[in-house]
Structure 1
Amino acid sequence: MSVIGRLHRVGLALTRRIEELYAESGLSEPEFDLMATLRRSGPPYERAAGELAEHTMVTTGGLTKRVDRLVARGLLERTTGTDDARRRMVRLTPSGFGVIDRAYAAHMANERYLVDLLSPTDASRLEAILRRWQSALATD
């Protein structure tokens, strides 16, 4: 219980700090994930809706709701594919690009801060332990 309980509490504390940071940018965690996926895709910062659903691991219905909220806020836009007008694309707007760039920079600084609460040796050991544990759980 001590390992799982502590791991659970640490996970909740990390999630809370990460979500608070996203909220400062006006984003939820799923919205950040969606916009970061588009940002990582490179110019023109767009993907087909189906690809976004796969990359963000949500249903197409869940994705549609997130996209609708971000379109209403002017952070995303829907377009049609250049090679197929039936293909629906989702793209960052210039405003959305700015929001996700600032949010991503803050997120990376926050992650660095959180990891730096550990010594470099402890962080390295923990990463190796978690990698092995994750691998063992994946085989069950």
Structure 2
Amino acid sequence: MSDPSTVRAPDAVDAILQQWQRERPSLDAAPMGPLGRLKRCAALLEPRLEAGLAAFGLRLWEFDMLAALRRAGAPYCLSPTQLFSTLMVTSGTMTHRLRRLEMQGWIERIPNAQDARSMLVQLTDAGQALIDRAVEAHVDNERQLLACLPAQALSELDDALSMLLRTLESPVPLAE
């Protein structure tokens, strides 16, 4: 493994890798590099994304829920199951979050015409107006956060992350 600090400026993960190299020279800790960087980037990005949404009175999870409904297209309506599947949260978490968004006046629950036993979640006019404003600012914020990367590097990063995501999302055969 070549020393990454000779190719680019070292980062916090390089220091961790160097410590492992010193303490366990026979351990190939290379997988810790990209995964550690992904985890650190996610941890550092989240507060910056939250800060960009603060002007709209939104937290990141609220934005994600409103955006999921908006992306669904008119009439901006999904079942709670579709919502929690899209957002990868538990049904208990979803119930709590739906109540909060409903109290804000951003969503409403409406009867499901196909199943009288269930309700659907729909954006209100206020929720739609809010998410339409917030998503523009959110995309601008994301663009600024990625501005440090040249276009080619950004494209390669996107491709590599897409490949990793597809691999992680694919069903893993059980060991026999």
TM-score range normalised by the length of the shorter chain = 0.7 to 0.9
Structure 1, 52-61 or 124-133: larger mean CA deviation = 124-133
Residue in 2 that maps onto 1:98: 129
How far off its partner does 1:122 sit?
2.0
State which of 4, 11, 16 in structure 1 corresponds to 2:47.
Answer: 16
Aligned CA RMSD, in angstroms, stands at: 2.1
For structure 2, list consecutive stretches of 5 or more residues without a partner in the other structure: 1-12, 15-32
Residue in 2 that maps onto 1:44: 75
Distance 1:135 1:60 in 2: 24
Alignment of 1:59-78 (within 5 A): 59-78=90-109
Aligned length: 140
Distance 1:137 1:59 in 2: 19
Residue in 2 that maps onto 1:83: 114
State which of 112, 121, 125 in structure 1 corresponds to 2:152.
Answer: 121
Distance 2:38 2:74 in 1: 39
Distance 2:168 2:115 in 1: 42
The C-alpha deviation readout for 1:10-53, integer Å capped at 9, x for no partner, is: 33221111111122221221111111110011111111111111
TM-score by length of 1: 0.86
Q: Give the greater-gyration-radius structure (CA).
A: 2
Say which structure is richer in helix: 1
Distance 1:79 1:19 in 2: 29
Greater relative CO, 1 or 2 (CA 8 Å, sep 6+): 1
For structure 1, list consecutive stretches of 5 or more residues without a partner in the other structure: none
How far off its partner does 1:84 sit?
2.6
Alignment of 1:24-35 (within 5 A): 24-35=55-66
Q: 1:14 to 1:61 in 2, by over 3 A?
A: same
Secondary structure, in 3 states, of the residue corresponding to 2:120? strand
